[in-house]
Amino acid sequence: MTQNKIASLRKEKGWTQEELSEKSEVNVRTIQRLESGEDGSLDTLKSVANAFQIRISDLFVSLDETDKSKQIIDESRKQQNQIAKYKFFKNLYRVLAVIFFIIFMLVTGEYVSGVQSSNELFLNILYFGWLILWPIGFLVIYIIRIFFVEKYLYNKYPVYDSISTNKSKNNTSDEYRLIKFISILFFIILIILIFKLIK
């Protein structure tokens, strides 16, 4: 094994050894030993790398030709491969969901524009409903991605999941708040517009 960068990475983040210990769930004494240049198990190094949200090999200045170094390189390649797959399928969902939704909306828009009725209120509600479906649809696509697609991908690619766990924990509450705010705002606007149509 060669010199690791754990101490410098920790200082870049502005963390104490105790904070790194808490984030990585590795004993403080073990963190101290690693920073002093002692060897650590692959699981320990993986936990520390996950805390920094980097590959295991990125903990080191360089790696020699020992069996342990080869294991670290193999594990890092596995992480990189799973990250690439995760991002590919996440982006594929986004593209396909948006394309299918737009096609659906264009087809329903064509149908709505062809509807004929002597009831002007009914037509206004129909057109308004079609317009309202746009933000609802994109919000649903977003919610499905956050609560279903990403959870499925996390289970399918656990290496990526372990790297992104800390980030996900920090972002989850913000995403809930954002969805709640958008939902409340949308329903307020919807109620106001319905009252205007009725009048």
Question: What domains, with CATH codes, occur in the chain?
Answer: 6-64 (1.10.260.40), 78-198 (no CATH)
More confident residue, 154 or 106: 106
CA 19-7-160 angle, 5° bins: 70
The set of residues, in sequence order, having a beta carbon less than 8 Å from that of 76 and lying 6+ positions away, is 55, 56, 57, 58
Per-residue confidence (pLDDT) for residue 168, from 0 to 100: 47
Cβ atoms of 196 and 124 closer than 8 Å: no
The C-alpha atoms of residue 139 and residue 103 are separated, in whole angstroms, by 17
Q: How far is CA 22 from CA 15, 34, 55, 106, 181, in A?
A: 10, 15, 19, 51, 32
Helices 6-13 and 42-52: angle between axes, nearest 10 degrees? 30
- 57-75 residue pLDDT tens: 889 987 766 767 788 888 8
Distance CA 99, CA 94 (A): 9
pLDDT in the model for residue 196: 62
pLDDT of residue 139: 86
Residue type, 48: V
Compute the chain's Rg from CA coordinates.
Answer: 25
pTM above 0.85, yes or no: no
Running DSSP on this structure, what letter comes out for residue 146? Answer: I
Match 């790297």 to its residue by tokens: 163
Taking a C-beta distance cutoff of 8 angstroms, is the pair 54, 24 a contact?
no
Q: Which residues contact 99 (CB under 8 A, 6 or more apart)?
A: none
Angle (nearest 5°) at CA 176 between 175 and 180: 115
Q: What is the pLDDT of residue 149?
A: 92
> Does pLDDT of 53 surpass 60?
yes
Mean pLDDT of the chain: 82
- Give the whole-number percent of the chain exceeding pLDDT 70: 79
**Per-residue pLDDT tens digits for 113-170:** 888 878 887 888 888 888 888 888 888 898 898 889 988 988 887 655 455 444 444 4
Taking only the tens place, the pLDDT of each residue in 32-49 is 999 998 988 888 998 898
Label residue 157 exposed, middle or buried (CB < 10 Å: 0-12, 13-18, 19+).
buried
